[in-house]
Each structure stands twice: as C-alpha cells, then as structure tokens.
Amino acid sequence: MALPFLEVSNLKKGFGGLMATNNVSFNVARDEIIGLIGPNGAGKTTLLRLITGILKPDSGNIKFRGKDITRMKVWDIVNLGIAGTFQNMRPFRRLPIIANVMVSCLSPRALKTGEWVKRIEAKALDALEFAGISDMALEKASTLSQGDLKRLEVARAIATDPELLLLDEPFGGLSPAETDLMAKSIKRLHKGGRFGRLHSEGPAMIIIEHKLQALMKIVDRVIVLNYGEVVAQCSPEEVVKHPAVIECYLGKGEI
Amino acid sequence: MSLLRYHLRKLFMIFKNEVLVLPSRIVVCIFFILLLIWPLIFEDPYAMRIVILASIFAIFAASWDLLSGFTGQINFGHALFFGVGAYGAAILNRQTGMPPWGSIPLGALIAVLAGLIVGIPCLRLRGTYLALTTLAFPIILASLIMTAPEYTGGEMGMSGLARLAMSRTANYYIVVVTMLVLVTVMWKITDSRMGIIFHAIREDELAVKAAGINTTMYKLIAFSLSGFFAGISGGLYAHFMRIAGPSTLEVSMSFQVVIWCVFGGMVTIWGPVGAVFILFPLLEFLRMWPEWRELMFALIVLIILLYMPGGLLPWVRNKIETECPRCKIRNVAFRSSCRVCAAEMK
C-alpha cells in the first residue's frame, strides 16, 4: 500500500471568531489536478496557505508522502516539493523580472534537481518562457500588468521544480485567449518533461479559480468549499448538478 | 614572449572595451589610481590623515549599506559593530600584546559575534521596530564598558595601542589598500547570487520564503558580514588613532553612517564610499568657519537630499549615463545607439 501523496486531515484554522477552515480533510494523488472552488470567503486561500506553511493550523495535520509537514518552516516545505503562488501577487518590484525567478532557482531544491544547469539565468529564462513573459525578462517587475504578474507568480513557483503545485487564481486578470493559453500550459506542465533547461516533475496540482469554464476543462476532481467546510468532492461533470454546490452558490428556496 | 604579448593585448582590449566606454567606470579607475599615488604627490600629513580616516569610514559606511541598504534590515545601531571591533582589537592588543595584523581581524570576528547576538533577537522584527531596537544595543554596550574600567579604561578609553606601521605613508597604504580590497569584496558579494537573495529579502521576505530560501540564515549572514566589515574598520580606527574610547559607540556615530549612505545613494556600495570621500573632507574644509560648520554641513546634506532623493552619486550617474531601453546595458548619455545591441537610444 503506497502512502498517500498529500493527506490533509481535520484541518482547523480560525481567525478570531471566524473559522476559516473547519475540519477540512481530503487526499491528493500524485497524478491529479484538483480544482478548489467556492464562494468568496469560503477559505480556499487559507487552505492553500496552510498547506504551503505560511499559516499554521490550530489543529489537524498535513502529510506529504507520509511525512508530517504541519509545523515545518515554509522553506523546508518548498524544498520538499510543494510550491505555491500568491493570490495577491508579491513580486520583488524593484528587481528585474528574471531576478524574481532566479531567487526561486537559488533554492536548494532547484539547485539540486538541475545540477547540470550551471547558469541559473538560463533556467530562470526557461521558466519565464513557459509562463510566456520571457521577452520582458530584463524589465523591472513593477512595470508588469496584473495578468503578467500572475504569470510571473507561476514562473516563480515552477522554477523550484515542485511535485505539488498550488495555484491561487492562475487565470486572474487574463483575457479569454490568454486563459486558454495558460490552461494549455498548465496541462502540458502536468504531463511533465523538459521545457528547455527547466525540468518538470509533472506536478500534481491544486488550482483555485473562479473562471469555472476554463477550470473544468483541465481538472480531474473538484473540491467545493463553503464556510470553511468541504461541501462536495466530485468530478467536474457532476459538480454542476450537485445540490449542495448549487445551494452554496445560489442559495436555497422555493420556486 | 608572444604569450605575454597576447595577454597584455587582451588586457588592453578589456580595458578599452569595458572600462573606457562608461564614465562611471573611468571615475572609479581614477579614484583607485589617485588614492594609490596620493602620498607620492602630496606630502602634507594633514591631507593624508583625512584620506586615511575617510577610508576607514568608507568601509564602515559600505558595511551599513550591505546590511540595511541591500538586505533591508535598517540598523540604527551600527556603531555597535564599529565599537566592538575597536574595543576588541584594543583589548587584544593591550592584554596579550598582539600586533595589529592579528588583533584587527580577531576584533572583527568578535564583531561578527556581536552581529549574531544582535541579529538573532532582531529576526522577528522588521521596519521601524527593528531600527529602534538596534538603536539600543550600542548604548547598552557603552554602559557595560563604563562598569568595567579595569579592562576597558572606562570613560578615558584604552590609549597607547600599537601603531599600524611606523611611518605615516605605510599607515596610509595599509588602510587605503585594505579599504579598496574590502569595498571590492563587498561589491562582489552584492553582485553575486547571495546579493540577489539579499535584494529579494528587502523587497518581500515572505515571497523569498515561499521560493524555498532559508531567510533566517541569509539575514544572519548579512548581519555577520556587515559586522565583520564594520569591525575591521573599527579595529583600523583604534590602531590608527591609538585609542579606543566610548566615542566609537556614540549615537552620533550610528547616525553619521546613515547620513553618508543616504547622501551617497543606498543599495549601491559605491554610493556610500563616494559620499564619505566627499562629506568627510567637506566637514574638514568647513572648519574655516568653525561656528557655522555643523549648520552648513546640515544645509548641504539637506539640499542635496531635497533635489536628489535617490542620493547624489546615482543622480550624477543617471545624468551622464543612460540605460538602453532594450538590453538594459548602460551607455554614455551622448550615444545615439546602444553599444551592445545597437538599439536606438531615446
């Protein structure tokens, strides 16, 4: 019996009186793409931040390949192979875009997995190329638009060679055409392989997204959160018919 | 023989194509050469003394820039490292009779220890809180020194330390060459991979953590590197002045270094060094009007900062050099096309 890849059990986190996540439990398999949806304030971003270790849960635990990562430092979790993006983009504004990605390339994990790449600049450039902003590599990050900042976040996350990638609204601020392109890139990344000098493990993914149409095309399974609790876990075909999901988005009432 | 000629030719080509194309690089070259031939031209001991002190404080200012400018850990108690370096060297020299070439590096290592002692409790703080906390450390050390006068000399300080060298010219070369080497090392550190991480920690520490980098370690490295370089400058100061007194720990010392860095342009390393070499002689020059000296100094600094908020030297540099819009290589301002990618300069 193989260990579960990522196992989240009974995760609780409260901010004051508000329970942001309440008894959340789910598993992720090595080869899955999971969509995490729910109304605003449902605790999606909190859940992602708990997994990346930026927030610490009040109770419950998270196991990655059988290893308890609940209380580990953020950088240790990243070096185990979990990388996440920020919903509110946090680039290093006064640094060139390529330097933003080079910071990720300097993490011990990225240095180890790509040791045949001597020049981290080249690797960073390939990550940028994957995200589609390599032509602006030398500009300052403060010149980027919102959509491009999203792509920069993705480039920064994949530069650490993650096995589990947590994307917080990767399509936010992108036009429909760009969304399609990004969705295709994510699909391609999930298959794994090499993108220039960038090596992809074919990471499992958890994607938070509000553009459901684009999301449903790429995910294998959807988890619906509402008020910090898992409302439904089902396939993308079923989720639109699921009564609990309809209730949390539209409310319940007599017609 | 032909091999030698080849290398000489290569060196000359590098000099011609990389150094002579940019005014800032020419200025740096002139600065290095001028400092090295200064005692051959000017015999005046007073001028030489000013250059020696300016060199010592240049190391000190650059080390503040390394910690506070690059890593963003604003330190208002940088005199601590200077004082620990000075006292460390002085105590080692007086108690064990260690010569300056041993006591200065060892004093600097004690300053590294001080850097770690300050750094570890300060890891949790940032911004204004960090600045105010660091302000306290030199004051604490100064009062500790007062309580143990038999080892530290109390208010009088420790005098009669060994000279750096016997002649003034030898003193000059020891200090100036040390300064040039250390400042180059600091600049190379900030230009390396570690420098990128320092920059990034200043911009957004959480994002650096999320990129898988142990920021605690890098912040402590920044504290200890900065402490080491400031400690060397403190040791040099103690052995040059032949006294290590409580004045090295004064609050004014901590703020002087901030003024130098902000005046010369933070996050550059060369900015603070240039600022010290401008402001220190300026302060001496203003001695002609002793009662107006401080006021005029403050006015000059204020006016410069008002009109050049990024610092004097980056402002000058941006006037004489422009960045290529395409490849971001710097060019002389009067060029119409980039020297590397031939893009049109606007």
Confidence of residue A2 (pLDDT cuts 50, 70, 90): low
- Which residue's structure tokens are 């009062």? B143
Closest by CA to A164, choosing from A41, A62, A24, is A62
Q: What is the mean pLDDT of chain B?
A: 92
Q: Is B191 helix (H, G, I), strand (E, B) or coil?
A: coil
Q: What is the mean pLDDT of residues B104-109?
A: 95
Determine contact: B335 vs chain A, CB below 8 A.
no
Number of residues written out for chain A: 255
**Domains in chain A, start-ordered, CATH in brackets?**
6-89+162-250 (3.40.50.300)
- Which residue's structure tokens are 């530290």? B152
Q: What is the mean pLDDT of residues A61-83?
A: 92
pLDDT at B317: 93
Amino acid identity, residue A96? P
Amino acid identity, residue A143? T
What are the backbone angles phi and psi of residue A204, rounded to the nearest 5°?
Answer: -70, 155
Cβ A95–B210 below 8 Å, yes or no?
A: no
Confidence of residue A250 (pLDDT cuts 50, 70, 90): confident
Neighbours of B213 (CB within 10 A): 26
Cβ A110–B193 below 8 Å, yes or no?
A: no
CB-side neighbour CA atoms (13 Å) of B206: 13
Q: Which residues contact A182 (CB under 8 A, 6 or more apart)?
A: A132, A151, A154, A170, A171, A174
Confidence of residue A130 (pLDDT cuts 50, 70, 90): confident
Chain B CB contacts of A120 under 8 Å are 193
Does residue B195 carry a pLDDT above 80?
yes
Does residue A133 carry a pLDDT above 80?
yes
Does residue A116 carry a pLDDT above 70?
no
b (16+ CB within 10 A) / e for A32-56: bbbbbbbeeebbbbbbbbbbbbbbe
Using one digit for the tens of pLDDT, what is the confidence trace for A189-204? 898 877 777 777 789 9
Q: What is the mean pLDDT of residues A223-239?
A: 89
* Best-predicted range by mean pLDDT (A248-252, B234-238, B300-304): B234-238
pLDDT at B242: 92
Confidence of residue B172 (pLDDT cuts 50, 70, 90): very high
Q: What is the mean pLDDT of residues B86-92?
A: 94
pLDDT at B261: 94
Q: In a mutagenesis test of the B interface, which of A74, A98, A103 is the best target, namely the one with the most B β-carbons within 10 Å?
A: A103
Does residue A147 carry a pLDDT above 90?
no
As a whole number of angstroms, the distance between CA B112 and CA B194 comes to 18
The CATH number given to B45-297 is 1.10.3470
CA A48 to chain centre: 7
* Diameter of chain A measured on Cα atoms: 66
Q: What is the mean pLDDT of residues B208-216?
A: 94
Q: What is the mean pLDDT of residues B90-109?
A: 93
Q: Which residues contact A181 (CB under 8 A, 6 or more apart)?
A: A132
Contact between residue B218 and residue B194 where contact means Cβ atoms under 8 Å apart: yes
Q: What is the mean pLDDT of residues B41-58?
A: 92
Contact between residue B77 and residue B136 where contact means Cβ atoms under 8 Å apart: yes
Q: What is the mean pLDDT of residues B4-16?
A: 94
Amino acid identity, residue A165? L
As a whole number of angstroms, the distance between CA B247 and CA A20 comes to 54
Q: What is the mean pLDDT of residues B63-83?
A: 94
pLDDT at A36: 93
Using one digit for the tens of pLDDT, what is the confidence trace for B263-322? 999 999 999 999 999 999 999 999 999 899 889 989 998 999 899 988 999 999 999 999
pLDDT at A114: 65
Q: Which candidate from B203, B214, B328 shows the least CB-CB separation from A92?
A: B203
Strands B330-332 and B321-323, by their bridges, are antiparallel
pLDDT at B225: 95
pLDDT at A254: 65
Q: In a mutagenesis test of the B interface, which of A49, A69, A74, A158 is the best target, namely the one with the most B β-carbons within 10 Å?
A: A74
Q: Which candidate from B203, B212, B327 shows the least CB-CB separation from A93?
A: B203
Confidence of residue B116 (pLDDT cuts 50, 70, 90): very high
What ipTM goes with this model? 0.91
pLDDT at A140: 92
Cβ B212–A93 below 8 Å, yes or no?
A: no
Using one digit for the tens of pLDDT, what is the confidence trace for A172-182? 888 899 899 88
As a whole number of angstroms, the distance between CA A13 and CA A58 comes to 5
pLDDT at A103: 94
Q: What is the mean pLDDT of residues A77-102?
A: 92
Closest by CA to A55, choosing from A86, A31, A94, is A86
